[in-house]
Amino acid sequence: MQIGSPLDLGAYLARIGLKAAPAADAEGLERMQRAHRLTIPFENLDIRLGRGISLDPDHVFDKIVHRRRGGYCFEQNQLFLRGLHASGFEARPLLARVWLMAQDVPPRTHTLNLVTIDGEPWIADAGFGGSYSPPMKLFDGSEADAPDGAQFRLLRSEDHGWLLERRGDPAATDGRVPNAEWQAQYSFTLDQIAPADLELSNHWTSTRPDTRFTTLSVTSLCLPTGFASLTDRHYSRRNGDQHVESDIESAKAYRLRLNFVFGIALDEVEVMGLGLYP
């Protein structure tokens, strides 16, 4: 892992709304990840603005903590990992293959964290762009319930190490569909990951033509019992049984929605630079 300057833990905790570091146990891990995901938006807007994604730790910290922007998985989980270390957790990064909408074996374009608590492995992910997935103890058949009513489970995969699956449709009134099938989210192995591995995956993900992150402007944020997203002009917000969906018709309205819902402040030139409005 790239270290950078010593992490200002107080500033990071203030960014995610915690007054003090939680205990380095399973409850503390859940509390810290939950706080991170409820306050820091997932977004790829710097890619769409032609700025690229730097994994320099000081740059990531300044962007997300000081400038109060969001980021995508390589930024989010790097910052989260540094916060875990500074709070006394034993943790390291992993790389994963995202299977959602995949037509073939996907590349390793996602990173998450492996956390060891009392000698037992857990996965913790503050940077997956979908709705909230809780930290999970790593064993075959491990299951966890999400606040929106969805369920997650971990299975051993003969071909790809470990597989995270999700069941439940947040579009349903009660947050889940009882008979819904399990859907693969991502697979991962426990191989040691070097900073160069993360740099390589980040470069591919942020520059590959005709992919989701290089063709769409994506912003999202976990809500207490739901999820808000803005994909290009389309806005969707679900929290419990409340659901709002609409297309944002003007650059001014888009800018206001970014600010008031996701806490991202872009100026007029930056919003127009996304290419969403004539």
Q: Choose, from 110, 159, 241, 247, the residue flagged as catalytic.
A: 110
Which listed residue (125, 169, 197, 267) is catalytic?
A: 125
- CA triple 10-16-21, angle to 5 deg: 50
222 catalytically annotated = no
160 catalytic? Reply is no
SS3 assignment for the chain: CCCCCCCCHHHHHHHCCCCCCCCCCHHHHHHHHHHHHHHCCEECHHHHCCCCCCCCHHHHHHHHHHCCCCECHHHHHHHHHHHHHHCCCEEEEEEEEECCCCCCCCCEEEEEEEEEECCEEEEECCCCCCCCCCCEECCCCCEEECCCCCEEEEEEECCCEEEEEEECCCCCCCCCCCCCCCEEEEEECCCCCCHHHHHHHHHHHHHCCCCHHHHCCEEEEEECCEEEEEECCEEEEEECCEEEEEECCCHHHHHHHHHHHHCCCCCHHHHHHCCCCC
Q: At what angle do helices 195-207 and 73-86 cross, to 10 degrees?
A: 150
First to last CA, the chain: 42
Catalytic residue among 36, 73, 148, 222: 73
The residues assigned a catalytic role are 73, 110, 125
